[in-house]
Each structure stands twice: as structure tokens, then as C-alpha cells.
């Protein structure tokens, strides 16, 4: 048998079966607003008609005993007033009208019991499962088995007596940075002085003794200063010999206070209009020919007389130009 009930919260109408109503003891939950209520006070038949009244049970009189049999002249169906009134009361009390109201209190006891003396575990178990509300019309939803809890990662506890503290990053002290910077600067200056020693000595002649001592320890060579501004051609001339060969004579002066390297001579022969006919460069080994003299350099504050023979073929130079270079 099916019934009809109405939600007191949202006035939604639902159809219920008798077995469902008995299994839930009359309590249902609205699938529209979610309110829980007792469906029995608002039950109607499936077609909307009210519930039929329960028929009153018939009272059957027991046959009178001989001792209590009524006297002659009285009808068999007569009953004493007190008995009749008590029979009527019992009939009224026994006979239900419709479905009786729920007599138990609607205040349900809490299902969560908390004992402050019980320690709370760290593992609270699986999370509660929430299921969607049943669709209209109301039908019971079978409970779904909870899913197994996900795998739990457990970390090994540290051994007793051992504390694992995060290591703090090591910071370099300021004085260490200063020492490292000074060492790097000294190394840079030493490399610069080694590779530019000739230039430094030529510009700072007073540093030559220190560089010569360092080169003696390091096994390097220190070239002589090369300052063209302190070299001067005091005199020069081009002479023709009897064999038809030419000879260049010149006097080279060193105005520096230290010895200087011998320069390279650049000779240009010109015609009568001062146009170049031939040009030739002469290294110190060509116009000196003495290795020890070349190594010693031009003595300081001195003048050196040089003579350079020239072989000229089919040329009749009328002039020349002489330059010094390094």
C-alpha cells in the first residue's frame, strides 16, 4: 500500500510505501529542502483521500454464570450502568482513530559521546562520506560502502638522544674577503708587471734595478729602454767610393741617463727632385755586427759613430733621408 505525505518545510508532496514507512518508523527526509520530519501526521492515501478510520472492535459479552444470572423478567442484553460506562470507556480507549501521534519526545539523544579522560588518537580514520539527496519521489538510498583510506606516508622517528637540526649556511667572515681580495689584486699587479716590464722600465727608469733583480730570480729577460725622444742623429752623410759603392756615415747620440736599445735605421734614397728611388731598413745586427755591443745598448749620454756600406745597382741618388724607429 502506498501513501502520500507533505513536507512541512517546503510543502513538497512525496509518495511513500508502507514498508518504507515502517522501516523508518515514520521519519523521512525531504529531497527538496533536506528537512527531516515525521510523515505520519500528514499521511494521506495515494490518491489524496484521507486515511480510512480503523473499525471499532465488537464487544462480545460472556455468558452469565449461574450465580450472576439475571433474574427472570430482565432482558439478556441489559447491563448495569457501571458496567456499561466502563465498557464504553474501554472501547473508546482501545479503538484508535487513524494513526496515533508519536508519544516519544522528538529530542533525540546525541550519538557522539566525548570522554575528556580518553586521549585523542592522531589518526582520525577515513573522512565522512556525503551522499546526494534522493530524487523526487522519495526513494530510500542504499548506503554505499566507504572507500578504503588512502595510503598513509609514515616517516621514521629520530633515534632517542639524537637531534637532527638543520645546518646553518656558513658565512665567510669579512676579513677573509679582504685577504682574498688583496691576494687577487697582488696577483693581478704581478702579472701586469711581468708582461709589461719593458714598457714600465722605459717609462720609469728608476725601477730598472728592481726589475733586473726580479728577472734574475724568474729567469726572464729585460730589454733595454726604447725612447726615441732621447735619441738624436747628430750628423750623417752619403759618400761615393772609388768602386762605385756608397757609404752612409752617421753619428748617433743618446741623451738618456741610462743605456738604450739600438734603433732600426730606415734609409730612403731620393733623386734631384727629392723623389724616393729606394728604401731600406737596417737592423742593429746589420750596421753593428757585434752581439755584445748590441746587448749592452747605447751608453748613456754618449755619441756613437756608425758607418754603413751600401751596394746600389743602376741608381744615381742625389740625396737621402734617414729615420730612427724601434
DSSP letters for 177-224: HHHHHHHHHHHHHHHHHHHTHHHHHHH-GGGHHHHHHHHHHHT---PP
Helix, strand, or coil (residue 286): helix
Contact 28, 9 (CB under 8 A): no
Separation of first and last alpha carbons in the chain: 127
Per-domain residue ranges for the chain? Answer: 1-50+134-140, 182-218, 228-325
Q: In the prediction, which pLDDT does 154 show?
A: 54
pTM of the model: 0.40
CATH of 228-325, one of 1.10.3470, 3.30.70, 2.60.40, 2.60.120: 2.60.40
At 281 the three-state DSSP class reads: strand
Structural contact between residues 6 and 12, judged by C-beta atoms closer than 8 angstroms? yes
Region 272-287 average pLDDT: 92
What residues contact 326, with CB distance under 8 A and at least 6 apart? 226, 228, 261, 263, 264
How confident is the model over 292-305, as pLDDT tens digits? 999 899 999 999 99
pLDDT tens readout for residues 150-160: 555 555 555 55
Report the percent of the chain where pLDDT is more than 90: 23
CB distance 254 to 260 below 8 Å: yes
Confidence of residue 316 (pLDDT cuts 50, 70, 90): confident
Q: Which of 60-64, 209-213, 306-310, 320-324 has the lowest mean pLDDT?
A: 60-64
Beta strands in 20-146 (DSSP E): 27-29, 36-38, 44-45
Q: What does the pLDDT average to over 53-61?
A: 52
Most confident of 51-65, 193-207, 228-242: 228-242
Q: Is the pLDDT of residue 232 over 90?
A: yes
* Range scoring the smallest mean pLDDT among 42-51, 66-75, 192-201: 66-75
pLDDT band at 82 (very low <50, low <70, confident <90, very high): very low
Q: Which helix (H) or strand (E) holds 267?
A: strand 264-270
Of the candidates 25, 24, 32, 76, the one whose C-alpha atom is nearest the C-alpha of residue 14 is 32
Residue 261: closest CA among 299, 293, 230, 298: 298
Query: How confident is the model over 104-110, as a mean pLDDT?
Result: 47
pLDDT band at 63 (very low <50, low <70, confident <90, very high): low
119-132: average pLDDT: 63
Query: Which cell goes with 104?
Result: 516519544
Q: Map grid coordinates 566507504 to a residue.
A: 146
Q: Which class for 3: exposed (0-12), middle (13-18), buried (19 or more C-beta within 10 A)?
A: buried
Q: Which residue has the higher pLDDT, 56 or 143?
A: 143
**Other residues' Cβ atoms within 10 Å of the Cβ of residue 212:** 13
d(CA 258, CA 252): 15
Predicted pLDDT of residue 26: 82
Residue whose C-alpha is closest to residue 277's, from 223, 326, 316, 251: 316
pLDDT digits (tens, 9 = 90+) for 170-215: 788 889 899 999 999 999 999 998 888 888 887 887 888 898 888 8
- 244 has a pLDDT exceeding 80: no
- Residues in a beta bridge with 11: none
> What's the whole-number mean pLDDT along residues 35-55?
80
Strand order in the sheet with 13-17: 13-17, 2-6, 44-45
| Residue 89: band (very low, low, confident or very high) from pLDDT cuts 50, 70, 90 | very low
What is the band of 252 on the pLDDT scale with cuts at 50, 70, 90? very high
CA distance 96 to 212: 134
Give the three cell numbers for residue 52.
Answer: 480510512
As given in the structure block, the three cell numbers for residue 28 are 523521512
Q: Work out the percent of the chain whose per-residue pLDDT is above 70.
A: 64
Residue 275 has pLDDT above 90, yes or no: yes
What is the reported pLDDT for 301? 94
Amino acid at each position: 500500500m502506498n501513501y502520500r505525505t507533505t513536507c512541512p518545510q517546503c510543502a513538497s508532496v512525496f509518495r511513500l510505501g508502507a514498508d518504507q514507512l515502517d522501516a523508518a518508523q515514520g521519519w523521512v527526509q525531504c529531497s527538496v529542502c533536506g528537512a527531516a520530519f515525521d510523515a505520519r501526521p500528514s499521511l494521506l492515501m495515494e490518491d489524496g483521500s484521507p486515511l480510512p478510520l480503523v473499525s471499532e472492535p465488537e464487544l462480545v459479552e460472556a455468558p452469565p454464570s449461574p450465580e450472576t444470572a439475571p433474574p427472570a423478567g430482565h432482558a439478556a442484553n441489559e447491563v448495569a450502568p457501571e458496567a456499561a460506562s466502563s465498557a464504553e470507556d474501554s472501547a473508546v480507549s482501545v479503538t484508535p482513530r487513524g494513526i496515533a501521534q508519536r508519544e516519544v519526545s522528538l529530542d533525540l539523544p546525541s550519538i557522539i559521546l566525548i570522554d575528556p579522560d580518553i586521549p585523542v588518537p592522531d589518526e582520525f580514520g577515513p573522512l565522512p562520506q556525503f551522499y546526494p539527496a534522493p530524487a523526487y519521489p522519495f526513494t530510500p538510498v542504499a548506503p554505499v560502502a566507504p572507500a578504503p583510506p588512502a595510503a598513509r606516508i609514515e616517516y621514521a622517528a629520530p633515534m632517542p638522544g639524537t637531534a637532527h637540526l638543520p645546518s646553518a649556511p656558513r658565512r665567510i667572515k669579512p676579513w677573509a674577503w679582504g685577504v682574498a681580495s688583496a691576494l687577487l689584486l697582488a696577483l693581478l699587479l704581478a702579472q701586469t708587471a711581468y708582461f709589461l716590464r719593458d714598457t714600465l722600465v722605459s717609462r720609469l727608469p728608476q725601477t730598472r734595478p728592481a726589475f733586473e733583480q726580479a728577472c734574475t730570480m724568474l729567469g726572464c729577460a729585460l730589454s733595454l729602454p726604447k725612447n726615441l725622444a732621447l735619441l738624436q742623429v747628430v750628423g750623417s752623410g752619403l759618400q761615393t767610393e772609388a768602386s762605385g759603392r756608397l757609404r752612409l756615415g752617421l753619428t748617433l747620440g743618446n741623451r738618456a741617463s741610462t743605456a738604450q736599445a739600438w734603433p732600426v735605421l730606415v734609409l730612403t734614397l731620393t733623386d734631384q727632385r727629392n723623389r724616393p728611388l729606394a728604401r731600406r731598413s737596417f737592423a742593429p745586427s746589420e750596421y753593428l755586427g757585434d752581439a755584445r755591443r748590441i746587448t749592452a745598448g747605447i751608453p748613456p749620454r754618449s755619441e756613437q759613430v756608425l758607418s754603413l756600406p751600401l751596394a746600389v745597382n743602376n741608381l744615381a741618388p742625389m740625396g737621402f733621408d734617414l729615420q730612427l724607429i724601434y
